[in-house]
Every structure is written in C-alpha cells, then in structure tokens.
Amino acid sequence: MRSTRRSGFVPDPLLSIRDLTVDFATEDGVVHAVQGVTYDVYPGETLGIVGESGSGKSVSMLAVLGLIPQPPGKIVRGDASFKGRNLMQMPNDELRQLRGGEMAMIFQDPMTSLNPVLAVGFQISEAIIAHNSDVGAEKARERGIELLDLVGVPNPDQRYDQFPHEFSGGMRQRAMIAMAIANSPSMLIADEPTTALDVTIQAQIIEVLKAAQRETQAATILITHDLGLVAELADRVVVMYAGRVVESGDVYTIFANPRHPYTVGLMESLPGLTVGDESLQPIPGQPPSLISLPPGCAFHPRCSLSNGRPRCRTEVPELHETGHPEHWSACHFLAELEGYKSKLVTEAIG
Amino acid sequence: MSDHSLETDLAPAGTVAVVGASAPLGEIQTEEAQKSSFYESGLEVEVRSQWTYARRRFFRHRLAVASLVVLTVILLAGAFASWVAPYPYDGIDLDAAGTAPTLSGGHIFGTDLLGRDYFSRVIYGIRTTERVAFLVAILAVVIGTGIGMVAGYYGRWVDNGLMRITDLVLTLPGLAVLLTAAAFLGKGSPYRVAVILALLFWTTLARLVRGQFLSLREKEYVDAAKAAGAGDLRIMFRHMLPNSLGPIIVFGTLILGIAILTEAALSFLGFGIQPPTPALGKLIADGQDVSQSMWWLVLCPGLTIVLIVLCVNFVGDGLRDALDPTQRIRA
Amino acid sequence: MLAYILRRILYSIPVLIAASFLIFTMVSAFGDPMSELRLNPLVSKQTLEKQAEEKHLNDPIPVRYGYWVKDAVTNKFGTPLFVNEPIWNDLKRVIPHTIALVVCAELLALLFGVAIGIYSAIRQYSPFDYAATTFSFLGFAMPVFWLALMLQIGFTNLFISTHVRIFYTSGLSSVDPGTGPHWLLDRAQHLAIPVMVLAVLNIAVYSRYMRASLLEVVNTDYVRTARAKGLTEQRVTIRHAVRNALTPVVTLSALSFGALIGGAIITESIFQLDGMGNYFIQNLLSQDVYPVMAWLMITAIMIILFNLIADILYGILDPRVRYE
C-alpha cells in the first residue's frame, strides 16, 4: 500500500531523528557507528533504509529504541522523538512500554532471535501480556493463535506449543512478525527480515509483511541491503554509508535519478535487464573502517565523481536539497549529477 | 587502489581473509590460481600473525605476566634445589627442633620435630613436583591430542569407539582409580605416578581436540588440501593441528595445575611418591600429627602449593585470553 | 521426552557392564589378592591354597569375573578374604553418610555458586566481581586436604582457647548425641566443616561458569528480542537470561559426582568420618581386593545414575536435546 503524499499535505512525522551520533568503545579504538544521522518517518508509510553492513542502519534504530547497551555503546548526542515525545530523555520504564507496544521490531535471524527453550506461542503471548496486564493467560493464548494464523502459520493451535527448532526458517520469521504486531504498533521496524532466509521463502515473508502492514496500518521501517526489496515495498528511501545519511528521497527518484555517487554506484552495480555481455560494475574499494574514517566525505576514496578534489577530502558534506521536492543528497558536487538517469530508466526506455 | 590483508581474531581458528586482488586492475585470476595462492599464502600469513598477535595480547595481562615471573623463579629454585636450599633435605638438628617460622635465624618456614628446615624441604619438594607435573601434562596432552585428532578427523565409527572408551574411563571416580592403581601397581617412583596420572587426565583433552577437529574438518582449506593430494597425516598435523593449538595449550596449563594438586593429594594419603623422594604432600602429612602445636608444618608447604597452582592458573588465564579470545573452551 | 529417557537408560546398561568388567580386570590384574598374606609368616601354605580354591583364584580372569558377578548379585558382593561378613553390610552402613555429605556440599555449592555467578555477571567489573574472581582462583588453587587440615587446626585451636565448640573437627557424632533435633544438630555440627571443604571448589567452579554463561546469554539475539518486546528488565534477566544460562551449570553439577567422591575420600579420612571414602582407604591400605572392587562397582553405578539424571535434567531444560 503506497501512501500518497503528493497531495501537498504533509502530516507530522511519526518518528523524528536529529543528529543522532552513537559511538562504541572497543579494544581497538572508538567505533563511530552512527554520525549525525537525521531523518523522519511519516505515519503509514514504508521507509527503506539502505546500506551495506557497517553503514549504521541497524545501530541507529537500535539506539532510538534504547537497545544499545550503554557501557560499550554511547549515544554521544542527538534527539529522537516519537509522536512528539522525546525518546532520549525518557525514563527507562516509559521507553520500555513503547517497545513492543507502539514501536515493534523484527530481527534478522529468526533462529537466534527466538528463545530456544521456550515455546513459540508462549513468546508471543509474553509480548501481549507485557503490554496488557488485564489480559489473562487464556485470552493471550487465543490471541497468540489468532496472530499465528494471520501470519500464515498452518495448524496454529498445535504450532503454538512447539519450540523454535521445530519451525522452519520461514515459519520462525512469521512467528517473529506475529510477535511484533501483537500489540498493534504504529511503527514496525524490520531489520533485514529476509536476509537469513532462502530466496523462495523471502517472497512469502514479503507478503506476510504486507499483510501485517495492512492489518496494523503501521509505518514500516525496512532496513536492508537488498535493493529489490526496497523497490517493491518502500515509499521513501534513506541511503546510508559509513554511519551517515548520504541521500534520501522517494523511491522512484532515488532509483531513477540518484544524486549521490554512492547511490549511483549502487544502481549501476545492479545486473542489467538486457541480455548481454556486460560484466558487473561493482563499486571499487572497500567500506572504510569506522574507527579511522577518512577525513571529509567518507566515500571520497571510492568516488569517481570526486576525482581527488580537495573539498571532498577536507569537508564533510551536509545534506542539501537537490532541487527536486523532498530529495536530499550529501555531496558537494551533486549538481554535477543533474540529468543523470540510472540504467534502470535507460533500459526501460531504450 | 590498495589491497588489504585483514587479520581477524574474531573468526574461529584465526582464519585470515585476504581481500582485494593483488593482480593489477582488470585481470581476473583463474579460480584455481586464486584458490591456491590464497590457500598457500593465506595459511602462512595466518600462522605467523596469529602468534605475534597472541603474544601481544598475553603481555597486556599484567597478572599473567607477573605470575609467569613468579612461576619461573619458583621452578628455577626447584630445579637448582641443591644450590638454593639453605639446609639439606634431611638435615637433622635437634637443637632447632620445633621452631616457628622466623625471618631472622634462617628458618623461614620453621622446623619440624627433628629440627629439619622446612623451607629447604619445601624447595626439594618443589623439584619433585615440577618433574611429575610437567611429565603428566606432556603425556596427557600427547595422548589426549592424538586420540582426539584421530577421533575427530575420521569421525563416525572411529570416533564412536574412542568416545565410548573415554566415557568408560569417566564413569570411574578419578581419585579412587588413581589410588587403586597406585596402591597396587606400586607407589614410589615419581615417573610411575606421573604415568598413572596422565592415563586418567587425557580424556577431557581428547574430547576437546575431537570437538575441534570435527568442526575443522568442514573447513574449506581441508578440502583444498585433499584436492591437492595431501595425505591424511599431513592434513591433520600441518593444517588442522596448528589451528587447534590455542585451546590445547590452555587446557594443558589447566592439567598442569590439576596434576600438581592431585600428586599432592596422592602423596599426602601415602599412595603417591614415597620417601625418601621429597614430596610436598608428604611434608604436609608429616606435619599432620603435630599440627596442633606446629601448625606451620601444614601451612607453609600448603601455601606453596597454592601459590604455584595460582600462578599456573593465572598464566593459563592469560594464555586463554591471548589464544582464544572470543570462544569459550568447550570440552 | 519419555523416549529420550528410555534411550538414555538403555545406553547406560552396556556401559555398566563394560565398567564392571573393566573394574574387575583392572583390580585383579593389579593386585594379587593374597600378596600381603603371602608375606605373613603366620599364615600357612594350606590356608592360602584353601582360600585360593574358594575364591577361584587359579582360574583365568573371565571365569573369575563370572564368579564375581554371581557372588555380587546373590551374596551381597561376597566377602573379603578370610572374613565371613558380607561386604554389603559394611557398604550399607557407610554409603548413607557419604551421600549426606556429598548432597549437602553440592546443594551448598549450587546455591552460593549460582548466586555469586549471577551477581558477578550483572555487576561485571564491580568490586564484588573482582572479589568473587579472586575467591574463585584461590578455590581452584587450594588442595582439598590442605584446606581441610587448616580448618581443622583452626577450629580445634579455637575450641582449646575459648572452650566454645562451634563445629566439631572429627567424627560423625559425639559419644552421646541425644535424639531428634539434638541428634540432628550434633550431626550438623560434625558435618559442617567437611561439607564446607567439599563445597569450596565447586562454588568456585559454578560461580565462574555461571558468570561466563550468563554473560554469553545476555548478548544473544533472543535476549535482545525479549528486551525489544518491552519486557521488564527483571523478567528478561530471570525468565530468559538466567533460565538459559543455568542449563550448563546444572548439568555440570550432576556430572561432578565422581569428583565429589574423590573429595569425600580425602575429607572423610582427615575428619575421621565413617563413610565410603574412609572405607575405601582402609581397604586399599590393607590391600583387600574384594571390598575395593565392590566399592568401585557401587561408585560406578552411582556415577552412571547421576549421569542419567544429568541427561534427563538437560532434556527438561533444553527441549532441543530431546530429538537427537
């Protein structure tokens, strides 16, 4: 379900993140996992957060939910507000009430994300009872079976009492989704929901996610490195690299007219549709170490647009409007990408 | 564009990822060439870098380093006992009989009923202990590793059979079996005692090594080696064993500590090393009869044992952090 | 679940049989049962030969094994040399004392060990954690017999100087312990120090193990999920973290019976307790083969039993194991 915001009316964001910066203290030094990240999530939309491993896409979300352990981790600065409430200043108990209630998260690997010694159904009911103290065990069980049915688990009343290792990978992920939507959240965060699954199962889980969205009308944050998933599900996209947001905009614009060299590289590295002899075009080089980031723009060592220009090496680019509505890019020379059309467009046309 | 060789001590058994092509841009190495150069060079880099990295980590542990120093001093004292000990082992001096430990007057650990200096006796005892303990540890490690390797590498029937044997050995209470063996097979020679101890201690190490080898067997470089025509023994010793050495060494130090304690218990009960060979446990047993008045005869040799084993354990702990940082040792 | 238990029981039986054969062969091969007696000039050659006949000592080992098993089952483990008292009577007397000692020590060790481990993990790197770690290292380094002696000396000297008897330092009971609660108190006072001595090592082991296990569990994905669900920190810690971290410790406990018997041997001989350990040592000293074999067999049976309990406990705690 795509939201239509082209009517011009812009509602208040559901979640607002401003200048979020998270560090981790490790033996080898301080890891700057997230630096100055800023984005919004609007009610009912699906926001795709795209980036490779280590881009900080998961950490920023975990920090917002209060799931980063604060001894090694440290939220250095930044604000996050949910429905107008400041999450960073909130007492732990209040934040806890939001977790699993209004803000729910689905994790990547359902095998390790479910407690292996407790029954699956029990774990779902636990989520229900934690947020609805008036609900008794019987009622919670009923609701749990309903949820399992909703996400497409066959024989839900039997499966309810089974253990995670008796479920297949796809079914476990369905159970995780059931657990997340148990309390009708207004925001659903899916962290790489299909990465750990077989390709054939991935498609099924995407359908389950869509069903869950329909059921709850929740805003969905889809964290992934899979551009195909983003193309299919997202309304808007935020692209992250080395802990920073480098581009954000609606999904069509990002895919068709990217204005950041990294996004361009991502689009170009997708296999072409035309049957041909082209070799794949990966982005040369490796993502930087988050302990010793390159000065200036983090992408400049691999950037073909930069060509070693000094500004890229010295100045960290801020997000600028590209001239298109709601399309931001953090590149000093984004203007030079004006008129660039990704091969998705050119292939479709030509 | 640079190429990197990443050392990770996060990957099990210290595998090294060689990232980035060393060939100039645009040239694609054949898969075989890539595999073999990766395999050969990767392995060399891996072994070298892992040890230097481990050494660095070990020396960051001040407690382990301090313990190593103390341990070396003690071991050297024991090895050179006849030079270090102020009095002979059996130096009877009835005038000085039954004196409590004093810092002045040369009897740091006091004397017993016959006036023998206990400090000297303890030093001689340390000499015996270190001989026996090292022998036990080495034997147990060799036997345990050997059996574990075979069980883990060949798997299935061989593994099953060997593990049943280990199970069997484990159903018998350790100390009791040792005592029985010692009682009937003859006490006395430290070497006999060492062998008997080793024959009991190899089991847990065998399980450990077997576990390691069972998982290492699935690694790609084993397949690569087989494809290159390497024989079983070569694969086991040259490729798999170096990657298991970490936990083996750590467990070896554990065995060392346990061997010292067990030997002391055996000689205390009278079943281990027999007089006239000095033994720390025996020294404590000698002190047991007069412990009410001459408590130092029990305290001092005991404290020595505690100190030695403590140091061994600290060193072992430091080694574990250095060699096995993210994994828990599973037996 | 039932199938799992039955499988484990079935597996234990051949182990038991193999163990019995191993014990018999080992001991018979080690010791000529009559070696001590041969040295004794008072014993005539004829008596020796008569005993040899009676005990079938001239037959090959497998045959002797057969006789031994038969004797064990029908005649309560047979009799020691020259004594016509069945071994079982002695064993029957001493086993309960040792069981009491061992069980008390283990319960104490689990209680303290797990508690210390949990607290150390929750308050990692705190002064408590460092103190607990130091204590653990000391516990690993102390010989059991030395600790026993030191405590014995300490409490005896305490009594001598103050005439206040807190704990007894030898024997199972006083000469006239009274009945009912008086008897219980007296027995407790006698067993207190041995129990403490036996528990120390295991407290050290379990606290370290529990700490490591809990620290590992606390960083797992499923604990993160539990937090993400909005469960209270208390519930996450107990219901998810500790519950899972406890499993290896509990099974470790059930498997440590063999080591505890070893400790019991030492403690009982130092504290003059009339238990299995002391019985074992006495017969070993007199080189009396048959009690030793019987003892080893009984102990092996107990160890196999405890291994079974450990397996069952593990199956209860970790459902994944039931489907092996």
**A284: chain B residues, CB-CB within 8 Å:** 1
Length of chain C: 324
**ipTM of the prediction:** 0.85
What's the token pair of residue C144? Answer: 């059991």
Q: Can you tell me the distance from the alpha carbon of B67 to that of C39, in angstroms, rounded to the nearest whole number?
A: 50
Q: How far is C320 from chain A (nearest CA, A)?
A: 7
Task: Find the closest chain A residue to C317 by CA distance.
Answer: A117
Identify the residue among C225, C244, C323 best suited for mutation to test binding to A, counting A beta carbons within 10 A and taking the highest. Answer: C225
Is B266 within 8 Å of B188 (Cβ atoms)? Answer: no
- Predicted pLDDT at A349: 58
**What is residue B13's DSSP assignment?**
G
- Predicted pLDDT at B56: 76
Q: What are phi and psi of A105, to 5 degrees?
A: -125, 140
Q: Can you tell me the distance from the alpha carbon of B248 to that of B205, in angstroms, rounded to the nearest whole number?
A: 7
Task: Find the closest chain A residue to B8 by CA distance.
Answer: A28
A50 DSSP β-pair partners: A224, A239
List the Cα angle B322/B328/B330 in 5-degree steps: 125
Q: How far is C223 from chain A (nearest CA, A)?
A: 8
The domain ranges of chain B are 1-48, 60-323
List the Cα angle B52/B54/B60 in 5-degree steps: 110
Any chain C CB within 8 A of the CB of A184?
no
Length of chain B: 331
Q: Which chains touch C (3 or more CB pairs under 8 A)?
A: A, B
pLDDT tens digits for range C2-29? 888 888 888 888 888 888 888 887 777 6
What's the token pair of residue B151? Answer: 């069980």
A85 DSSP β-pair partners: A82
Q: List the one residue out of B30, B23, B20 whose CA is nearest residue A302.
A: B20
**C243: chain A residues, CB-CB within 8 Å:** 117
- Predicted pLDDT at A302: 87
Burial of A262: CB neighbours in 10 Å, binned 0-12, 13-18, 19+? buried
Q: List the one residue out of C237, C234, C231 whose CA is nearest residue A66.
A: C231
Is B298 within 8 Å of C146 (Cβ atoms)? Answer: yes
Q: Which chains touch A (3 or more CB pairs under 8 A)?
A: B, C
Answer whether B299 sits within 8 Å of C261, measured CB to CB: no
What's the token pair of residue A115? Answer: 């407690």
Answer whether A284 sits within 8 Å of B4, measured CB to CB: no
Pairing of strands A46-50, A236-241: parallel
**A285: chain B residues, CB-CB within 8 Å:** 1
Burial of C299: CB neighbours in 10 Å, binned 0-12, 13-18, 19+? buried
Nearest neighbour of C229 by CB, restricted to A99, A109, A118: A99
A104 DSSP β-pair partners: A188
What's the token pair of residue C136? Answer: 């653990």
- Residues sharing a CB contact under 8 Å with residue C251, sequence separation 6 or more, in sequence order: C310, C313, C314, C317
Identify the residue among A286, A291, A302, A303 best suited for mutation to test binding to B, counting B beta carbons within 10 A and taking the highest. Answer: A286
Number of helices followed by number of strands (H, E) in chain C: 14, 0
Is A287 within 8 Å of A242 (Cβ atoms)? Answer: yes
B237 DSSP β-pair partners: none
Is C300 within 8 Å of C72 (Cβ atoms)? Answer: no
Residue with tokens 């795709």: A48
Q: How far is B51 from chain A (nearest CA, A)?
A: 18
- Predicted pLDDT at B247: 83
Could you tell me the domains of chain A?
Answer: 15-234 (3.40.50.300), 241-349 (no CATH)
Is A334 within 8 Å of A322 (Cβ atoms)? Answer: yes
pLDDT tens digits for range C91-147? 888 899 999 999 999 999 999 999 999 999 988 888 999 999 999 999 999 999 999
In Å, what is the CA distance from A192 to each residue of A48, A105, A310, B205? 11, 11, 36, 41
Q: How far is C298 from chain B (nearest CA, A)?
A: 10
Q: Can you tell me the distance from the alpha carbon of C62 to that of C64, in angstroms, rounded to the nearest whole number?
A: 5
pLDDT tens digits for range A15-29? 999 999 999 988 788
Nearest neighbour of C222 by CB, restricted to A92, A98, A112: A112
Strands annotated E in A231-334: 236-241, 244-250, 320-321, 328-329
Pairing of strands A73-82, A85-86: antiparallel
Q: Can you tell me the distance from the alpha carbon of A260 to that of A254, in angstroms, rounded to the nearest whole number?
A: 9
- Predicted pLDDT at C184: 82
**Identity at C216, one-letter amino acid code:** E
Q: Can you tell me the distance from the alpha carbon of B118 to that of B286, in angstroms, rounded to the nearest whole number?
A: 11
- Predicted pLDDT at B168: 82
Answer whether A100 sits within 8 Å of C244, measured CB to CB: no
Answer whether A284 sits within 8 Å of B20, measured CB to CB: no
Task: End-to-end CA distance of chain C: give it in Å, rounded.
Answer: 11
Q: How far is A48 from chain B (nearest CA, A)?
A: 29
Asked if pLDDT for residue C30 goes beyond 80, the answer is no
SS3 category, C316 = helix
**B284: chain C residues, CB-CB within 8 Å:** 145-146, 149
- Predicted pLDDT at C38: 63
Whether the link from the prior residue into A69 is cis, omega within 30° of 0, is no
Dihedral Cα C248, C252, C253, C255, nearest 10 deg = 140
Is A21 within 8 Å of A38 (Cβ atoms)? Answer: no
Pairing of strands A29-41, A15-26: antiparallel
Is B176 within 8 Å of B119 (Cβ atoms)? Answer: no
**C123: chain A residues, CB-CB within 8 Å:** none
- Predicted pLDDT at A192: 92
Task: Find the closest chain A residue to B19 by CA distance.
Answer: A286
Is C217 within 8 Å of C245 (Cβ atoms)? Answer: yes
- Predicted pLDDT at A158: 92
Q: What are phi and psi of A48, to 5 degrees?
A: -100, 125
Q: How far is B95 from chain C (nearest CA, A)?
A: 26
Answer whether C229 sits within 8 Å of A112, measured CB to CB: no
In Å, what is the CA distance from B51 to each residue of B18, B48, B138? 18, 6, 21
Lowest mean pLDDT among A59-68, B164-173, B279-288, C211-220: B164-173
pLDDT tens digits for range C296-313? 888 888 888 888 888 888
Task: Find the closest chain B residue to A289 by CA distance.
Answer: B6
In Å, what is the CA distance from C60 to each residue of C18, C28, C81, C223, C294? 18, 11, 19, 61, 20
Task: Find the closest chain A residue to C124 by CA distance.
Answer: A71
Task: End-to-end CA distance of chain A: give it in Å, rounded.
Answer: 29
Task: Find the closest chain A residue to C123 by CA distance.
Answer: A71
Any chain A CB within 8 A of the CB of C324?
no
Q: Can you tell me the distance from the alpha carbon of C184 to that of C167, in angstroms, rounded to the nearest whole number?
A: 13
pLDDT tens digits for range A220-257? 999 998 888 898 899 999 999 999 999 999 999 888 88
Q: Can you tell me the distance from the alpha carbon of A339 to that of C66, in angstroms, rounded to the nearest whole number?
A: 96
- Residues sharing a CB contact under 8 Å with residue C320, sequence separation 6 or more, in sequence order: A116, A117, A163, A165
**C129: chain A residues, CB-CB within 8 Å:** none
Residue with tokens 């990232």: B19
Answer whether B302 sits within 8 Å of C281, measured CB to CB: no
> pLDDT digit of tens for each residue in chain B (331 aa)?
333 333 332 333 333 333 333 333 223 334 444 444 444 443 444 445 667 777 777 777 788 888 899 999 988 888 887 777 777 777 777 776 777 777 666 777 877 777 788 888 888 889 888 888 999 999 999 999 888 888 877 777 888 888 888 878 877 887 887 887 777 766 667 788 888 888 888 888 888 888 888 777 777 777 787 778 777 777 778 777 877 888 888 889 989 999 999 989 988 888 877 777 888 888 888 888 877 778 888 888 899 999 999 999 999 888 888 876 555 443 3
Ramachandran area for residue C272 (φ above 0: left; ψ -120 to 50: alpha; else beta): left
Q: Tell which wins on pLDDT, B295 or A148.
A: A148
- Residues sharing a CB contact under 8 Å with residue B75, sequence separation 6 or more, in sequence order: B126, B130
pTM here is: 0.81
Task: Find the closest chain A residue to B20 by CA distance.
Answer: A285
Q: How far is C31 from chain B (nearest CA, A)?
A: 5
Domain B60-323 CATH class label: mainly alpha
**B166: chain C residues, CB-CB within 8 Å:** none
**Mean pLDDT calculated for residue range A291-300:** 87
Is A99 within 8 Å of C228 (Cβ atoms)? Answer: yes
- Predicted pLDDT at A191: 93
Q: List the one residue out of B287, B318, B315, B328 whose CA is nearest residue B101.
A: B287
